[in-house]
C-alpha cells in the first residue's frame, strides 16, 4: 500500500529481457539502507518487488501482464521514474490510499502553464470515469492528485510547483501516456452497489422486509 506521495525521481539504468518479461535496474535518489529484498516500491505507480540491491540501485522483475497493462512496457534506459516505498504502519497518510495496481493507461490531452502552476487535461479509459469525482483523488503515474473537474472521460488537474519539480508530471506533454489508478474506495462502493443499479423496485423492497 502507498500514499501517492512520491519520494523522488529515479532513473532506469539498465533493462534486461527475461522470457516474456523484463528486469529493470533503477538508480534511486534516496538512501536504500533500510530497504530489503522482497520489499515493495512503486515505480510510476506500479507496485514492484525488489529482487536485488546494490548501494542505491535496485532491480525489479516486471511480468508480461504488467508490461501490457501499464506504461512500463515503453520504458527506456535513461528514463526518469517516480519512486515511492511502501507505506509503513504509523506513517502519515499525506496523499490517499494507493495500491500500486494500475487500472489503465491515460493520455495527456492538454498542458497549460498559468503562472507557476501547470494545468493538465488527461483522458482516462471510459470504464474508469465512473469512479472519479470532482475534488476526489486519482493517482497518475503514482502521484496522488486532486481532481479539479471531470467531464465524461476527461480529467482536469492543477499541478503545484513542488509536485512539478519532484515528479514526472512536470515534464509530461500532450500525447504522453500515463498510468491511472482510481480511488480504491470508489471501486469497492461501486461493486457493492452494483446489484441495486436498477434503483428502488418493489422486488428490492420486499427482499428487504418492506411488504
Q: Quick: pLDDT tens for 105-133.
A: 999 999 999 999 999 999 999 999 999 99
pLDDT digits (tens, 9 = 90+) for 5-14: 999 999 999 9
List phi, psi (to 5°) of 52.
Answer: -155, 150
Q: Which residues neighbour 150 within 8 Å (Cβ) at sequence distance 6 or greater? A: 129, 132, 133, 134, 156
pLDDT of residue 199: 62
Residue 204 has pLDDT above 80, yes or no: no
Domain with CATH 2.40.30.20 in the chain: 8-85, 104-194
| Residue pair 18/45 in contact by the 8 Å Cβ criterion | no
Helix or strand run (H / E) with residue 192: helix 184-193
Question: How far are the Cα atoms of 80, 85, 93, 170, 174 from residue 161, in angstroms, in the given order?
Answer: 18, 22, 21, 8, 19
pLDDT at 111: 98
Class of domain 104-194: mainly beta
Backbone angles phi, psi at 5, to 5 degrees: -100, 100
Tell me what percent of the residues of the chain surpass a pLDDT of 70. 95
pLDDT at res. 198: 63
Q: How confident is the model at residue 93 (pLDDT cuts 50, 70, 90)?
A: confident
pTM of the model: 0.89
Cell 495496481 belongs to 101
CATH topology of domain 8-85: Elongation Factor Tu (Ef-tu); domain 3 (2.40.30)
Q: Looking at residue 4, what is its pLDDT?
A: 94
Amino acid at each position: 500500500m502507498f500514499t501517492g506521495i512520491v519520494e523522488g525521481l529515479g532513473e532506469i539504468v539498465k533493462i534486461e529481457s527475461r522470457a516474456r518479461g523484463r528486469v529493470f535496474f533503477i538508480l534511486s535518489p534516496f538512501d536504500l539502507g533500510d530497504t530489503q529484498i522482497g520489499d515493495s516500491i512503486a515505480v510510476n505507480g506500479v507496485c514492484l518487488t525488489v529482487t536485488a540491491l546494490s548501494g542505491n540501485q535496485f532491480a525489479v522483475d516486471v511480468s508480461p501482464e504488467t508490461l501490457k497493462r501499464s506504461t512500463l512496457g515503453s520504458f527506456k534506459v535513461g528514463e526518469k521514474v517516480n519512486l515511492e516505498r511502501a507505506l509503513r504502519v504509523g506513517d502519515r497518510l499525506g496523499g490517499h490510499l494507493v495500491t500500486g495496481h494500475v487500472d489503465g493507461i491515460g493520455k495527456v490531452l492538454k498542458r497549460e502553464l498559468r503562472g507557476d502552476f501547470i494545468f493538465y487535461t488527461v483522458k482516462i479509459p471510459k470504464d474508469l470515469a465512473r469512479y472519479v469525482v470532482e475534488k476526489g483523488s486519482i493517482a497518475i503515474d503514482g502521484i496522488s492528485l486532486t481532481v479539479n473537474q471531470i467531464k465524461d472521460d476527461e480529467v482536469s488537474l492543477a499541478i503545484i510547483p513542488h509536485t512539478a519539480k519532484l515528479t514526472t508530471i512536470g515534464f509530461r506533454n500532450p500525447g504522453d501516456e500515463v498510468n491511472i489508478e482510481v480511488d480504491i474506495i470508489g471501486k469497492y462502493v461501486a461493486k457493492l452497489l452494483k446489484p441495486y443499479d436498477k434503483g428502488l423496485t418493489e422486488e428490492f423492497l420486499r427482499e428487504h422486509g418492506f411488504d
